[in-house]
Amino acid sequence: MDPSLRRQVRPAVSYLAIRQLTKRFGDFQALAGVDLEIAAGSLVCFLGPSGCGKSTLLRAIAGLDLPTSGSIHQAGRDITSLPPEQRDFGIVFQSYALFPNLTVAANVGYGLINLRQPRAEVDRTVADLLTLVGLGGSGPKYPAQLSGGQQQRVALARALALKPGLLLLDEPLSALDARVRVHLRQEIKALQRRLGITTILVTHDQEEAMTMADVVVVMNQGGIEQVGRAEDLYDRPATKFIADFIGTMTAFDAVRDGSDLVAGSVRLVGTADSQDRVAVRLRPERLQLALPGVAGAHAGRLTTREFLGTHVRLGIDVGLPGATALLVDVPADGQGAALSVGADVAVLIPADAIHRFAA
């Protein structure tokens, strides 16, 4: 392989700096003062619901949509107003965007040929890249002869052909079926690690973001809600939006009663703070089944049971407002998994499992 295709992972210093970036489309504000730093060599994911601004932010970085205000610096260079062709990036789209009338090799080498690089050098680079993405020997084929996953590998090789400092992935796996998507995201992660190229992935798929990214940037309504590792977002959500968006939670409001929080007939002892009304969130795997009558346990009745492979998710009515079921995950091979709907059970809620937010 051409040694120039390998990149050493650089120290975790800022490679991309975004400052107070805003973007308006008429009266609609798609980005609202975004501040973000991305470390060199990292794989960062922009995650959020549709319309949150993640794709707009990616397009601003690529120069496809110039920001209304703010700045973007890449490797110390101000690229805020530069056109795409003057920026240092490669991009892969959801739709592959391959030329159907060109061979795989011609698609990958298209940018190199436009730069009038020597034919032998182009052929060598294309061959190296196709081997790198697991398509060695596929150069003479046409895109229509490849599967969706193979076409996306070709698009990835084409994006890497000019040896960019930044790789942008705009929901590249969303058009693929589930099995191919899981396999390809593992390949992309391994390839990014091998090359050490700074990479930004845009997705609405939580699992994709949590398994691939070094850092996840969760966006909402044009701003950033939280930036952190997958573990940080899951275990220590900074906002109610994050708690509700990442993973599964039992959600209910509670009021302060002395040092306790009270919701319906449920009393959470010694968990109140200075707020009179709070939003409570509980992860189902942090709760524990207990026998009715155990001290500190909340008595209830099993109302739903879902088999989810490695675990069973139980819905238990413990008297929360609005008939909200308390969700509890138990191992699929454990005693709790054999309970039938209608059974009397009890649930222990550890104090450190309670997430509290402003209601």
Whole-number pLDDT of residue 12: 54
Alpha helices in 196-268 (DSSP H): 206-212, 230-235, 240-245
312 beta partners? 307, 330
Q: Is the pLDDT of residue 243 over 70?
A: yes
Q: Is the pLDDT of residue 2 over 70?
A: no
CA distance 186 to 183: 5
CA distance 356 to 282: 9
Structure-block tokens of residue 337: 């998994």
Residue with tokens 């995201």: 185
Query: Predicted confidence band at 175 (pLDDT cuts at 50, 70, 90)?
Result: confident
Whole-number pLDDT of residue 95: 85
Query: Predicted confidence band at 179 (pLDDT cuts at 50, 70, 90)?
Result: confident
Interval 167-190 mean pLDDT:
90
Q: Is the pLDDT of residue 323 over 70?
A: yes
Interval 170-192 mean pLDDT:
89
Whole-number pLDDT of residue 292: 87
Q: Which one, of 44, 3, 51, lies nearest residue 223 by Cα?
A: 51
Whole-number pLDDT of residue 11: 40
Q: Is the pLDDT of residue 10 over 50?
A: no
114/261: higher pLDDT: 261
State pLDDT tens for residues 261-290: 999 999 999 999 899 999 999 999 999 999
CA distance 41 to 195: 9
Q: Is the pLDDT of residue 9 over 80?
A: no
Min mean pLDDT across 42-56, 174-188, 190-204 is at 174-188
Interval 235-252 mean pLDDT:
96
Q: Is the pLDDT of residue 3 over 50?
A: no
Whole-number Cα distances in Å, 118 to 86, 105, 112, 115, 228: 22, 15, 9, 9, 44
Give ∠ CA 190-126-165 in degrees, rounded to 5. Answer: 55
State pLDDT tens for residues 204-224: 999 999 999 999 999 999 999
Whole-number pLDDT of residue 107: 95
Structure-block tokens of residue 96: 């592959």
State pLDDT tens for residues 347-356: 999 999 999 9
Three-class SS of residue 242?
helix
Whole-number pLDDT of residue 174: 86
State pLDDT tens for residues 15-35: 999 999 999 999 999 999 999
In the chain, at which residue ranges do the beta strands (DSSP E only) sit? 14-25, 28-39, 43-47, 69-74, 77-78, 90-93, 166-170, 198-203, 215-220, 223-228, 250-257, 260-263, 266-268, 277-282, 288-290, 298-307, 311-317, 326-331, 344-348, 354-358
CA distance 189 to 194: 9
- β-pair type (166-170, 354-358): unpaired
Whole-number pLDDT of residue 355: 96
Interval 251-261 mean pLDDT:
96
90 beta partners? 167
Cα–chain-centroid distance for residue 129?
26
Share of residues in the chain with pLDDT > 70 (%): 97
Whole-number pLDDT of residue 6: 39
Q: Which one, of 45, 54, 10, lies nearest residue 185 by Cα?
A: 45
Whole-number pLDDT of residue 7: 39
